[in-house]
Structures are given as C-alpha cells and as structure tokens.
Amino acid sequence: MEAKFKRHLGRRLAAHPFLYLLVVDRWFRAAFCGFLMLPVFLALFLPRIWTKSPPGFRPIIKVSGLDLAQAWSLKRSALKSMAAGRYEEANYSWMAALINNPADAGLLRGALKNYLSNVDPKKYGGAVARHSGWLLALTATNLTDLELVAQVLARFGRSDLVLDFLEPQKKALTPKLEAAYLKALLFEGRVGSFSNRWNLVSRKAAMDEELRLCHAAWDSGWSGARTQPDSLRMLRAALDDSGPGILAARLLLIVACRRLDLIECSQMLDRLTACQADTLLDHIGYWRLLALHGRKDEAVRFTEPLPKQPASAKEVIALTGLYQEWALPDHVQRVLKRFLAEFEGSAELWITYAETLLTSRDWDELRRLALQMRNQPTGQNDLAAYSHFLEGRAELGLSRHFHAAAAFQKMAEWDFHHPGLGLRAARDLIQLGYAELARQVLSKLEPPLGRVSEYWNAVFHAAEKLRQPDLMVSAGARAFELRPNDPVVANNYAAALLIQRQKPEAAVGLTLFVLTRFPHSLPAVVNHAAALLRNERVQEAEALLKRVKTGQLSESQRALYHLNRFEICVKRERYEEAWLRSGLIDLRHLYSPQVRWFEDTCKRIFPASATLLFPRSTD
C-alpha cells in the first residue's frame, strides 16, 4: 500500500523533482531540515545572548552557546588534571574556562580549590585575590564560599584580605570563619582586636590546633599574665610536630620580635629557612629587630641581595616601609621600580610608588608613572582619576600650569574608586588653588565618606576658598556632629555661623569652647567677641577686643576685628567712631553676607554718604 502511494505521488510530482525528493527520500529530507535549522542554531550558538550573571549584578555578563560548551569541556579537563595531581595543567584549564564564562561560580570554586594544592604563592597570588573577590561578588558573600575564600587566602598568607572580606560579616561568622578571623587579626598585628574578639567568641570558634597556637602566641607576647611561660613551652613543644611545626616557628618568631629576643628570632628564622617555609615578612621582622639592637648597618647588608623574593605586593610594601623607617629613600625607589612590573595588578603598590615620588618631588618620574599607570588594566578603571591627578601634580611641579589644569580637569571627569585617594587629592587641590575641582571630586565621595569628619573638613575648606558660606555651614555642621570635641572642627562651624549670622546661641557656645582650649589665641578672641555681639552682649565683646593687638592678626582676621568694632559702635550709637571704623574694614576679606550687612547698616546710619561708600550698590 505504501509503495503504491509513493508511485502515485511520484507521478503527481514528476514535474517537481525537489518536492519529490523531499517526500520520497528521507535522507534528503533530513539534510534539508538540518540546512533550515543551521541559521537558527548559529543564531543561538555564536552570539553572546545568554545572561549568566545573577539578577541585579553589574556588569551584566553575557556568553554564547560556544562559550558555554568550551567552558564545560575545559572544566572536565581541569577536574581530570586535578585528580591526576597535575595542578599546573588544572590551573590553566580553570583559567581558560573562566575566560569563556566568568560568571560561573562553580568554575571559580574549582579554581580556588586547585590553589589549595601545591602551587607557587608568588605566581598565583594575584589571581587568588582577584578570583576570591569575584566569587564573593557573584554569590553575594555566601558564607560557604566565604569559608573557601578564607582558607585559600590563609594558605597564600593574605591575612589582610581575609580581614577585608570578614570584617563586614563579623557579626554572623560561622565557627570556621571565626577561627580564620582570629588568626588573621593576630598575623596582621591587631593584637588588641584579637584579645577582645577572643573573649567574645572563643567558645564559638572552631578550636583547631592552629588557633590554640595563635592564642598561645598572644598570651606569650601580649597578655602579661602568669601563664606566659606555659604558653611559650606549648609553642616550643609544637616545633617538632610535622603538622603545626612551621606555624609554631613563625609564631615564635613574631613573639621573639615582640619580646626583643634576637637570639630566638634568629633561631626561628633559621628553622623556617631550612624548611623553605620562610617569607620575606619573616626576614623583615628579624631585620627590624637587628636595627633596634643597634645593628642597623648589618641589617641593611642582609637586605642586599634579598634572601627571599617577595611573593606579593604586600611584602614589597612592607620592605619599602622598613627602608623608610631607616631613612633610605634610594632603596625605597629602587625596590618599587624593580617589583612594580611584577605586581602590576596591585593598586596599593602603584599608590605607594606615587606617594614616594610625591614626597621626593621627582616630577619627571611621577609624570611617567602617571602615564604608565593608565596603561595598566588596574589603571584603566580603579586608578584613572588618581593617575590624572598625579600627572597634573607633576606638570605643576614642572611649572607647566596649562597642562596641569588640563590634567586636573580630566581627573574631575573620573570617579575615585579608592575614596581615601580622592580625599587626599582634593585636599592637595585646595592647597594648590583648584578649589572648584576639589569640590567636584568631593561631591562624588559623599556616599562612601559621609560618616568621616575629615571628609567634611575638606568640604568646608573647599567652600571657604570658593567663598560659599552656605556650604561652609552645612559642612561645618556635619563635621561637628561627628567630632564635637575637636576644637578645630568647632572653630570652623562657629566661623561659618558667624558669617551667616545664624544660631547665635550655638555660635557663642562653640567660640567659648575654642577660647577655653586656646586662651591666648587672638583669632579665637575675635570670633568669641563676634559671637557675643550676635547675642547682644556688647560690653563683654568690647572688653575682649581691647585685648587684641591688630598687628598680630592676618588681613582676614583684621577685617573681622574692625567689623566687630564697627558693630559695637553702631550698637552703642557712637556713629562718628563707627564712620571712622568703616574706613578700616577691607571688604575684600569678608564674605558676601558680612558685606551685605555692613552695606545695609551704613546705608541706614549714613544715608547721605552711602553713594560715596558704595557707588555700585546705590545705582
């Protein structure tokens, strides 16, 4: 029946061979369907249209079907290499898989677990830091992933990053994370925080052998308790254990530095070196102790050549810090220049080098560094604003003011991803005469620095340079809220209130506080007199101002002094003296609210002379 139907259909489609083959020949039909599906397949497989980043995550990461297939294949290769103990090969496979699908948290976990194997900390230290931060960003700091990250970072000696990741979560840490947090506090030298945290969470923390040794080290060096000898014996007894022996040696080295025990410090360093477990930080601790014992020249000789190469930018920065303590600026620059290319992914190292060049005023090298910084992956985003600031600072140092202004203007177009850098740059800009650009920088920094009094002090000084009293009042108020016992902050806020002639009761309290702290300060006397006048305490204000010798005041303070004396004369109706005082007031040093009050008062009291005093105002 089927054959008969095909013969009948064949006769009907004899004039249409394509349709005939499509109906009769199943292989032709399959090939034709495949041809029709090919564009659809390519449209779905090749373009990056599949969003793999979590909802709300920025930047949005899209991949193609080909990317997903390659990432899956490379993941299988990485797992096979890890099972065979070929960790270097596994690392390359994980890296390649992440290039294809950087939003896959599973790939990041696999890469981090591979780092726990026997890999070179120096070679992979930068990758570990990047992948740890990226994984926690993707998973919104999932506690399970946080435990993995803390374990990997501790393996690579990055206790500083462990603290960075755990600090925001310290109220809800798991027992494993509590232990990791405590260890990191000790290794970062935050022994006071270690002691306080230990008293709070020691029962909750996962009490492994390493944490017990860390507590024994703290007890040996910092507790001052009678248990110190027992803790030292515990650490020394652990030296011969195969597991915690290296940790015990490193902790004893730290304790020896604390106790200024040069002999034991040297012994522990020799033990770590013999096990090839020494780090540059271990040597730095020993060199610093040598210098404290009066053997600085010997310590300097030990650093040339370095017995251990830095495994991270953190160690390079620690070495430069040691040279700075020893007042060896040439050594600082030589170390930074040598290792900058090796750890070019570290923003902290670029910043350290830049600060060194700023201090030494090496403008040509600073300009080259700024341009080099923008050519690095880190500089293209995180350090772009700072690099333009450095370029402008170098151009200014070379007396190329036009180029400096252009660089500073470019800086203001970028965001400072390191708020502290932005604040430092803004302060420098204020001092250099670029207050408007400083204000633009500071306006972008309010979200991260809005609870920092130094930020509002910088805003106040920018507003002061720009002569914007409204902003001075708001910035002064915010700084005073954060630091009410700081006389400098109180003085700034009081000055702004006096300029605006606002809140007289608050102003007199603030100026009295400042005058109490600095009773011999003539500017404090002038300000307090102004506040007394706002509160109609004219006699007290006049008595205060009689103590002031105007020759010891600056021009702006002298203008305020004469303005106060003028106001006293007006309030006491001594108009002839007020007329004489008005000629002593230099209006260039007053703010617009003060000038307006002075002009209005003169027009009211001396209407016949107003045209002579203020010709523009009376047109």
- Please give the full DSSP string across 442-508, using - where no structure is assigned: HHHHHHHHTT-HHHHHHHHHHHHHHT-HHHHHHHHHHHHHH-TT-HHHHHHHHHHHHHHT--HHHHH
**69 located within any domain:** yes
Average pLDDT over residues 600-613: 71
User: Where residue 385 falls among pLDDT bands split at 50, 70, 90?
Assistant: very high
Q: For residue 619, what pLDDT is reported?
A: 35
Q: For residue 417, what pLDDT is reported?
A: 86
User: What CATH number should be reported for the domain holding residue 83?
Assistant: 1.25.40
Token readout for 124 is 């992979």
Is residue 54 domain-shared with residue 121, that is, in the same domain? yes
Is residue 58 domain-shared with residue 116, that is, in the same domain? yes
Higher pLDDT, 617 or 290: 290
Q: For residue 208, what pLDDT is reported?
A: 86
Average pLDDT over residues 384-394: 94
Average pLDDT over residues 110-121: 81
Given a cut of 80, is residue 26 above it in pLDDT? no
For 330-373, write each residue's pLDDT tens digit. Answer: 999 999 999 988 888 788 899 999 999 999 999 999 999 999 98
Q: For residue 291, what pLDDT is reported?
A: 95
Average pLDDT over residues 393-407: 95
Q: For residue 259, what pLDDT is reported?
A: 93
Is residue 30 domain-shared with residue 104, that is, in the same domain? no
Cα angle 493, 540, 598 (rounded to 5 degrees) comes to: 60
Q: For residue 32, what pLDDT is reported?
A: 60
Q: For residue 33, what pLDDT is reported?
A: 73
Q: For residue 346, what pLDDT is reported?
A: 83
- Of 157, 192, 219, the last residue of a domain is 157
Average pLDDT over residues 153-175: 89
Is residue 7 domain-shared with residue 81, that is, in the same domain? no
Is residue 63 domain-shared with residue 111, that is, in the same domain? yes
Higher pLDDT, 223 or 20: 223
Query: Taking the model in full, what pTM does it have?
Result: 0.77
Is residue 56 domain-shared with residue 121, that is, in the same domain? yes
- Of 157, 192, 213, the last residue of a domain is 157
Average pLDDT over residues 267-271: 95
Given a cut of 50, is residue 28 above it in pLDDT? yes
Is residue 61 domain-shared with residue 109, that is, in the same domain? yes
C-alpha distances in angstroms, 335 versus 303, 307, 330, 467?
A: 11, 14, 9, 44
C-alpha distances in angstroms, 530 versus 391, 470, 474, 507, 524?
A: 44, 19, 20, 9, 10
Q: For residue 36, what pLDDT is reported?
A: 60
Cα angle 156, 161, 162 (rounded to 5 degrees) comes to: 85
User: Where residue 562 falls among pLDDT bands split at 50, 70, 90?
Assistant: very high
Is residue 38 domain-shared with residue 72, that is, in the same domain? no
**94 located within any domain:** yes
Contacts 24+ apart (CB under 8 A), 77-84: 78/110, 78/114, 79/110, 82/113, 82/114, 82/117
DSSP 589: G
The pLDDT > 90 percentage for the chain reads: 57
Is residue 76 domain-shared with residue 126, that is, in the same domain? yes
**104 located within any domain:** yes
**64 located within any domain:** yes
Is residue 93 domain-shared with residue 118, that is, in the same domain? yes
Q: For residue 616, what pLDDT is reported?
A: 46
Average pLDDT, the chain: 87
Given a cut of 90, is residue 285 above it in pLDDT? yes
Given a cut of 50, is residue 379 above it in pLDDT? no
Contact 311, 125 (CB under 8 A): yes
Average pLDDT over residues 216-239: 90
The tally of domains found in the chain comes to 2
**7 located within any domain:** yes
Q: How far apart are CA 229 and CA 220, in angstroms?
A: 7
Average pLDDT over residues 292-307: 93
Q: For residue 123, what pLDDT is reported?
A: 72
Q: For residue 618, what pLDDT is reported?
A: 38
Range of the domain at 55: 47-134+152-157
User: Where residue 289 falls among pLDDT bands split at 50, 70, 90?
Assistant: very high
| 376 exposure class (CB count in 10 Å sphere: 0-12, 13-18, 19+) | middle
The three-class DSSP label of residue 33 is helix
**26 located within any domain:** yes
For 70-88, write each residue's pLDDT tens digit. Answer: 888 999 999 999 988 888 8
Is residue 130 domain-shared with residue 64, that is, in the same domain? yes
> Which range is least confidently modeled, 39-53, 459-473, 587-601?
39-53
Q: For residue 288, what pLDDT is reported?
A: 95
Is residue 83 domain-shared with residue 112, that is, in the same domain? yes
